[in-house]
Amino acid sequence: MLMPKKTKFRKKQKGNMKGSETRGTSLEFGSYGLATTEPAWITSRQIEAARRCMTRQIKRGGNVWIKIFPDKPITKKPAETRMGKGKGNPEYWVAVVKPGRMLFELDYSVREEAIKALELAAQKLPIKTRIIEK
């Protein structure tokens, strides 16, 4: 799973996801892409599940680029713990995405297979997406 090797601080604040994305909104490497239409946190497990789904569908024939990286730690307090006593320990990592952000890019020769692979990957994600073609 994806996660940073090292971070400056162990824990981060929640932040917000207002507005739309300004960077990383266009196709750069592949011919097809999967872009978001709503803001969300996407976990490293969800990114990996979508990537596996795409590579299995295209049978390792084309190229897949992951355009997001989970660099935000999400903390959680243990179950049945009383309030207070500080912030919990980091449990998992998320990538913060805003509308318009390109999540994955795909380069494959057969158009129908490429779109099918992106549709399957979209089912693994917790947000609405759209497929972009060059």
Q: Rounded to whole angstroms, what are the CA distances from 76 to 47, 69, 81, 91?
A: 21, 21, 11, 6
Q: How many CB atoms are located within 10 Å of the residue 89 CB?
A: 12
Q: What is the mean pLDDT of residues 95-110?
A: 96
Q: Say which CATH class 32-76+87-133 falls into.
A: alpha beta
pTM: 0.93
| Residues 36-81 pLDDT 10s | 999 999 999 999 999 999 999 999 789 999 999 999 999 999 999 9
Look-up of token digits 């992106």: 118
